[in-house]
Amino acid sequence: MRFATSAPVTLIALAAAGAAAPTESMEYTIRNNCPAPLAVYINGRSQGILRRDTSLNRRLDASWSGFIYSSSNGGNANGVGTTRAAFYGETDYYYIVKQEGGFNMGVSISPKAARNGTLCERITCDSDSCQDAFTAPPTDFRAARVDAPLHSCPYNRRGYTVTFCPSGRFPGPAPTSSSVIPSPTPPVANTVRIHPLASQGKCLDVRGAVFQNGTPVQVYDCNGTNAQRWVVKRGAVDWIQVAGTNFCLDAGSNPANGVGMKIWTCYKNLPAQEWKFTNDGRVLLANSVFALDLTEGSLKNANQVQTWTFYPDNSNQKWTTSVVYA
């Protein structure tokens, strides 16, 4: 039997008087234990924004299969770059899928049925190095044995609880072998990733991590490298500086439509490096009519970003940020 990763979510409606008996269903509770609000998805369908320390409930067919995940902290609405809670209802299987090199947050799954040995046990993946998770969704569930990272909770008709950030924080450095429990990872002061509004899985990136004058600035899959870490220095105007370097986002000496962005040695009072973040997600070149623009709206890797005349309805000129942790 093959696993259909794109199966739609089926919400259970109450049967009207005289109609057929309602479909058997289970309750999925989704908890946000992260330090920030989360955008939650079920099989690619938005469930809205889940505030921290809150939960939501969804009743789904007992035979439902699919993924529950969040696009926040560098993930994507289509599931790319996310850690996913996964279910295969026909055989009561549950498991976690992590994205290697793109771990956006920890996830745990707790069946609401009583544990019996290894059946119906709570599972957790809270770092990129966790072992109890697949790195790609399995496509065949015909194996005679059920072994981790695949888990089973037969006859569970109560449901599951999915918790984002079971540790209470977004992922930081890989855990050490020390028996001392480390303190929660602090954010790096003023350091962020910058994403086009269309995808939190894409980041503003210094091409090839070549930190020298003239290197193009592009969009690329978020990968956690220093090429995607930016320090936003706010003031009357904002500087956008590559973290740990003396290079800044630079619009060139002759700003115009279609001018490709690059990095250049940071200089005070240089108009080409003076920006302004707006409350609605624009990054405007100060004292000009231009804005930072996703060229042709393309999310293709290595697409160099540009300046373009600011238009209020141009979604290619909207950007978001996510906090970088040490």
CATH of the domain at 76: 2.60.110.10
Identify the band that residue 274 occupies on the pLDDT scale cut at 50, 70 and 90.
very high
Domain assignment present for residue 174? The answer is no
Per-chain mean pLDDT for the chain = 84
Identify the band that residue 117 occupies on the pLDDT scale cut at 50, 70 and 90.
confident
Cβ atoms 285, 274 nearer than 8 A: yes
Q: Are 219 and 262 within one domain?
A: yes
Q: Are 30 and 95 within one domain?
A: yes
Return the percentage of the chain with pLDDT > 90, whole number.
Answer: 52
* Cross-strand pairs, 125: 107
Domain assignment present for residue 239? The answer is yes
**Which structure tokens are listed for 28?**
């999925």
Domain assignment present for residue 221? The answer is yes
Read off the pLDDT of each residue in 11-20 and give the average, rounded to a whole number.
39
Domain assignment present for residue 104? The answer is yes
pTM of the model: 0.51
Domain assignment present for residue 293? The answer is yes
Identify the band that residue 224 occupies on the pLDDT scale cut at 50, 70 and 90.
confident
**Which structure tokens are listed for 179?**
């028996």
pLDDT score at 31: 97
pLDDT score at 209: 87
Pick the closest to residue 81 from 160, 195, 163, 210 (CA basis).
195
| Residue after which a domain boundary falls, among 106, 129, 164 | 164
Read off the pLDDT of each residue in 300-308 and give the average, rounded to a whole number.
95
pLDDT score at 18: 39
- Based on the number of CB atoms within 10 Å of its own CB, is 30 exposed (0-12), middle (13-18) or buried (19 or more)? buried
d(CA 248, CA 72): 26
Can you give the CATH number for the domain in which 233 is found? 2.80.10.50
Q: Are 193 and 315 within one domain?
A: yes
pLDDT digits (tens, 9 = 90+) for 70-84: 988 777 888 888 999
Q: Are 142 and 268 within one domain?
A: no
Identify the band that residue 23 occupies on the pLDDT scale cut at 50, 70 and 90.
low
Q: Are 256 and 156 within one domain?
A: no
Cβ atoms 57, 42 nearer than 8 A: no
Read off the pLDDT of each residue in 40-55 and give the average, rounded to a whole number.
91
Q: Read out DSSP for 101-123?
A: T-----EEEEESSPPBTTBT--E
Question: What are the angstrom distances between the C-alpha of 259 and each of 227, 294, 313?
Answer: 21, 12, 20
Pick the closest to residue 52 from 163, 160, 188 (CA basis).
163
Return the percentage of the chain with pLDDT > 70, whole number.
Answer: 85
Q: Are 192 and 299 within one domain?
A: yes
Question: What are the angstrom distances between the C-alpha of 50 and each of 40, 97, 324?
Answer: 7, 21, 21
Q: Give the chain's radius of gyration (CA, Å).
A: 23
Residues 6 or more apart from 287 whose CB is under 8 A from it?
271, 274
Read off the pLDDT of each residue in 137-159 and give the average, rounded to a whole number.
82
Q: Are 194 and 97 within one domain?
A: no
Q: Read out DSSP for 147-200?
A: -TTSEE-TT--SEEEEEE-TTSS---SPP-S-SSPPPPPPEEEEEEEEEETT-T
Q: Are 134 and 194 within one domain?
A: no
Domains in the chain: how many in total?
A: 2
Q: Are 109 and 198 within one domain?
A: no
Read off the pLDDT of each residue in 314-322 and give the average, rounded to a whole number.
93
Cβ atoms 29, 55 nearer than 8 A: yes
Q: Are 130 and 64 within one domain?
A: yes
Containing structural domain, residue 321: 187-325
